[in-house]
Amino acid sequence: MADSVRELAGAFKRFLAAQEEDEFLTTAAPVRAAVSTPAPAAPAPSTTGELPPMAADSTLDISFVHQHEPTAPTETSTMNKADKTRALAELAQTIASCTRCPLGATRLNAVPGEGNVNADVMFVGEGPGFDEDRQGRPFVGRAGQLLDKMILAMGLTREKVFIANIAKCHPMTDPLHPEKHGNDRAPNAQEIACCRKYIEQQIAIVCPKYVVALGGVAAKALISDAKSLGALRGQFHTLHLDSVELPKPVQIIATFHPAALLRNPNWKKDAWIDLQMVMDKLGLKGARK
């Protein structure tokens, strides 16, 4: 009896340690794997938002997600670095005063996104959490620290990429208490629809070669509402935007959200396969040979 209790305690300790595991390559893969063939489908339940479970209203009313008000076209095809910087700054100002959805009333700070305006790779998450809401910057909490490691593992740095979210304000389960931890939820369909033009304009302005959608919310919003993350990841898709024209074709790949990888370190190897597909296209050797 004592033995089995000790065994159970040991197993539980190992489980907690795995949850705490925030390295990327150590659990993803010791060496680069060949990735010429499409990656296998993700294990269930790897499908939806990788932050805390979606709010009831985000069982997506799919038609709504792609509805948007027409926006003034942004001329992105001839932009130089200064033009891009200016356009992104203007967009960030618009986002900072946005009240198109109720999140505008409860956020501490809008989180437009940041990074290299000429980035080859743009990472898109679902929406700011507690830390991001406080700092006004994307992916600065625990999930962000893992994302930094994923970026480094690819042989890139945060300064070389652009990082943004689908939703620009913190979706909270309890909006009356923004100071509470664990108060995160995925953005719902209305919030995604209201924010959609912002991420679309950011993508069109930066015009990266590759967008990496982090998690099911970003993947569904940018690639296909109808499919699960498991069905979308492991392959490139051509990105089509609703509200702006892209100056040149952009490829998008979906992978697991870093927050999901913190909870399920065994998914890191599939995430690493997805990232290596981008690395292969860009000729990146990665942090490890």
Binding residues for ligand URA, rule: CB under 6 A, are: 51, 125-129, 132, 138-139, 141, 143-144, 165, 259
Amino acid at 259: A
Would you list the DSSP string of 65-107? Answer: HT-----PPP--TT--HHHHHHHHHHHHHHHHT--SSTHHHH-
Question: Closest distance between ligand URA and the C-beta of residue 239, in Å?
Answer: 18
Nearer to ligand URA, 132 or 274 (CB): 132
Quote the tokens at residue 171.
């979706």
Whether 111 and 96 have beta carbons less than 8 Å apart is answered as: no
Question: Closest distance between ligand URA and the C-beta of residue 137, in Å?
Answer: 8
In the complex, which residue's CB is closest to ligand URA?
125
Nearer to ligand URA, 50 or 79 (CB): 50
Quote the tokens at residue 226.
């109808």
Nearer to ligand URA, 50 or 200 (CB): 50
Question: Closest distance between ligand URA and the C-beta of residue 259, in Å?
Answer: 6
Helix 189-206 to helix 81-96 angle (10° resolution) is 160
Question: Closest distance between ligand URA and the C-beta of residue 117, in Å?
Answer: 19
Question: Closest distance between ligand URA and the C-beta of residue 243, in Å?
Answer: 21
Nearer to ligand URA, 259 or 273 (CB): 259
Question: Closest distance between ligand URA and the C-beta of residue 189, in Å?
Answer: 16
Compute the C-alpha angle 92/134/201, nearest 5°.
20
Nearer to ligand URA, 127 or 286 (CB): 127
In terms of C-beta density within 10 A (0-12 exposed, 13-18 middle, 19 or more buried), how is residue 10 classed?
exposed
Would you list the DSSP string of 17-33? Answer: HHHH---SHHHH-SSPP
Nearer to ligand URA, 29 or 149 (CB): 149
